[in-house]
Amino acid sequence: MPSHVCPCFFGSRVTDSDDSADRDPVVLVSGMGYTEELDKNSEIVVPDDDYGLYAIDILDPSLFVKCINLTDVYHFHEMINMLVDCGYKKGTTLFGYGYDFRQSNRIDKLMDGLKAKLETAYKASGGRQINLISHSMGGVLVKCFMVLYPDTFSKYVNKWICIACPFQGAPGYINDALLTGVQFIEGFESYFFVKRWTMHQLVVECPSVYEMLPNPIFNWKEVPKICVWRKVSSDKDDSSTAKLISYDPLESINLFEEALRDNELNYNGKMVSLPFNHAILKWAAGTRELLNKAKLPGGVSFYNIYGTSFETPFDVCYGSETSPVDDLSEICHSSPEYSFVDGDETVPAESAQADGFDAVERVGVAENHRGLLQNDTVFELIQTWLGVSSPKHTKSSRTAKVMDAAVL
């Protein structure tokens, strides 16, 4: 049976195109990849099979998943097929880059890996500049690379097409992930994804998650908040009342600290303390500072696709007026209530649009976060921007969505 996976991560197709070499190479950058176990005697790495495409193709490439055509665990699968149909050839003009989604988006290991992938694509294509296509947190990684290695970026990159990137964070999703975890999907398909509490224990130690906390200096239309109904005792008698307390992005740090102070993980009978990690927060603040000063190098064309028309968590609230929270540690075992804004169910459109660059085009598409990787309108945009076509490409069990009228 398939193993549990996290959804930010076979098949080959052939093409009759004779002009596959006449393409600027494409490198697909995922928001998912290498993972590592607590067991020091074992190691899990991102496979580089199929020129890096295997690791970002299907979340669970088991025979069972492929037999029942479970598209919910598809990642770049349909996009890879579309690009192959357009004449791109794996290993010559088409490559993938997956990485450890838990680690910081600016650590040397990930930066060196992306640099090596760009060098490989550049040489394999005969010295042609590369068109990057990133999804989700992969866009944060690319932006970090661009700031840290601007000359390398300018040398190798021609166009950067960014899809569903949380440029200014994903407030509701990330705030709640740190406090209660994340349940990516309900029903039968949830079997293939990490469970909510397991994910919670994982993300508390993930630098990348801290790096996607809402940007406290971004000029939000409405500042994202965490709200808690607190039990307040009366000084006059033994009665108590409920008071709604709000925390902005900076004030939320104290809330995380209090709520997670007793957080523990049971690993093989041993309790491992997992409180809010201030060292990771400090590192993430450095990443945010880096991202805030990013500038697009001259000669590089930038395109932004963001999801719209889906309710996306923004503010999150714990407790209620009739059932207030007494101790903040209770939040970790409670159910959140969200207020929503427009977006792709994960990243608010406001955040995804706020790249800070002079984009050639910035387009909203009515689709959810991972659905953008399988969307016909997105494929049409990519083909237009790359200057290619794929008349024969058809997707499995998907219907086209209508592009948002707002094209910025």
Three-state secondary-structure class, residue 382: helix
* Element containing residue 305 per DSSP (H, E): strand 301-308
The values of phi and psi at residue 247, to 5°, are -125, 125
What single-letter amino acid sits at 25? Answer: P
Using CA atoms, how far apart are residues 227 and 232, in angstroms rounded to an integer?
Answer: 15
Our answer to whether residue 246 is catalytic in this structure is no
Using CA atoms, how far apart are residues 175 and 247, in angstroms rounded to an integer?
Answer: 11
Using CA atoms, how far apart are residues 202 and 204, in angstroms rounded to an integer?
Answer: 6
Three-state secondary-structure class, residue 156: helix
Using CA atoms, how far apart are residues 311 and 299, in angstroms rounded to an integer?
Answer: 36
Our answer to whether residue 234 is catalytic in this structure is no
The values of phi and psi at residue 364, to 5°, are -95, 130
Apex CA 139: angle with CA 33 and CA 275, to 5°? 60
Our answer to whether residue 344 is catalytic in this structure is yes
Using CA atoms, how far apart are residues 356 and 407, in angstroms rounded to an integer?
Answer: 16
Using CA atoms, how far apart are residues 45 and 51, in angstroms rounded to an integer?
Answer: 15
Q: Which two tokens stand for residue 368?
A: 């959810």
Among residues 100, 176, 369, 390, the one annotated as catalytic is: 369
Using CA atoms, how far apart are residues 315 and 248, in angstroms rounded to an integer?
Answer: 10
Transcribe 66-126 into DSSP letters: HHTT-GGGBSSHHHHHHHHHTT--BTTTEEEE---TTS-TT-HHHHHHHHHHHHHHHHHTT
Among residues 344, 355, 376, 404, the one annotated as catalytic is: 344
Using CA atoms, how far apart are residues 127 and 192, in angstroms rounded to an integer?
Answer: 40
Report the catalytic residues.
136, 344, 369
